[in-house]
Amino acid sequence: MDVAVVVVKVGSSSLSNPSGGLDRDKLQHIVDELAGLYRDGVSLLLVSSGAVAAGFNKLGFRRRPRSIAARQAAAAVGQGILIEEYTHRLQQHGITAAQILLNRSDFSDRTRYVNAFNTLMLLLRKRILPIINENDTVSVDELTFGDNDRLSALVAGMVKADLLILLSDVDGLYDANPHEVREAKLISDVPHITPEIERMAGDAGSPFGTGGMRSKVEAAKIATASGVPVFLGRADRPGIVRDAYHGRARGTYFSASGEPLPNRKQWLRFMTQEAGKLGVDDGAAKALLSQGKSLLASGIRTVSGEFAAGEVVLITYRGEPIGKGITRYSSQQLEQLKGKRSEEIEAQLNMPAEPVIHRDQLVLLVEKESVQRS
């Protein structure tokens, strides 16, 4: 697309009243913020929590429920309420909204991923604003630890957004928990997400959201590795969306990676689930990390789990994950082939030996420099 694309994520804490229910004034503020940037010609996608907040009162609960079943029921009721509120208020600005509910499998399955991408891009070309949420009613993981931060990062990478805006109830990333340390300082720019930055994230969570600062930094890590810069700031600040887009908002800006992952490797790294593990030796680790080579059977020491050819497996070295890739052999075959040289495999199979994971089907999970130093 020739026009700028921005993904905005708003969490439950930014849409809730003190009792945990949906605050319609806060929702109106978000809509007005989106409309301002939409009028500037920017294409927008909104990843919004709030279904549970919108629905639990309708089920007779006096406060936000804790059990998975109750929250799923509240989400089932609340999702319709939430999208109706958004749709009605966006229409007052002349904006048409579309509801998109996604599961992790919509990202991990390549065909469904491509279908979701095509749908979102068509909506954007038609100047329709997709409102995206995790499918809370059936997504146990999301309700257990909160995943809309991660979801927004995956969506931003999918559509190659120009910016991901994470709106929360804090100004950004601090060098200490601002709720506990009065002298905590706001970090305005993060050129690179280091282990120190990740440690700073701590647990600066809020009572009504299911994620905290750590999940937002993890989301920023995913988005920036995919070439998408990220802004994190307070949802209730007037003009926050436009100011964030123009680089003048109070908050934290995370710079995009200078070498973003290609689309397929982005999908492989962040969106797939591993079916098993392959432990590799020193030579294989060096070939993968320093030389960009494919993984051969000769470098495999251990095979864990049961998987078929064509499934994604985790590559480990000295017990630590270093990569992921699509294997050409099943776990059963690899138990017979591990540690063997190509000529041995050719004699055993009576056919040319193929790499277990070709480098085009492999993505690293660590930085080369950090492994080489260790």
pLDDT score for 136: 66
214 is in an annotated binding site: yes
Q: How far apart are CA 95 and CA 85, in angstroms?
A: 13
Domains in the chain: boundaries: 5-265, 274-373
20 is in an annotated binding site: no
126 is in an annotated binding site: no
136 is in an annotated binding site: yes
Q: How far apart are CA 203 and CA 77, in angstroms?
A: 30
pLDDT score for 140: 56
pLDDT score for 373: 46
Contact 291, 362 (CB under 8 A): no
Please give the model's pTM, rounded to 2 decimal places: 0.86
> Which positions ≥6 away from 245 have C-beta within 8 Å?
4, 6, 37, 42, 163, 165
Other beta carbons within 10 angstroms of residue 105's beta carbon come to 13
Q: How far apart are CA 325 and CA 316, in angstroms?
A: 11
Q: What is the pLDDT of residues 134-192, one digit of tens each?
A: 886 666 554 333 568 999 999 999 999 999 999 998 899 998 877 788 888 999 999 99
168 is in an annotated binding site: yes
pLDDT score for 93: 98
Q: What is the pLDDT of residues 269-312, one digit of tens each?
A: 988 889 999 999 999 999 999 999 999 999 999 999 999 999 99
Contact 310, 354 (CB under 8 A): no
pLDDT score for 374: 47
Cβ-count burial of 244 within 10 angstroms (0-12 exposed, 13-18 middle, 19+ buried)? buried
Contact 230, 224 (CB under 8 A): yes
Among candidates 45, 46, 55, which has minimal Cα distance to 81? 55
pLDDT score for 207: 45
Q: How far apart are CA 238 and CA 236, in angstroms?
A: 6
Residues in the chain: 374
32 is in an annotated binding site: no
Note the CATH architecture for domain 5-265: 3-Layer(aba) Sandwich (3.40)
- CA torsion sign for 222, 227, 228, 230 is positive
216 is in an annotated binding site: yes
Note the CATH architecture for domain 274-373: Roll (2.30)
Phi then psi dihedrals of residue 323, to 5 deg: -170, 170
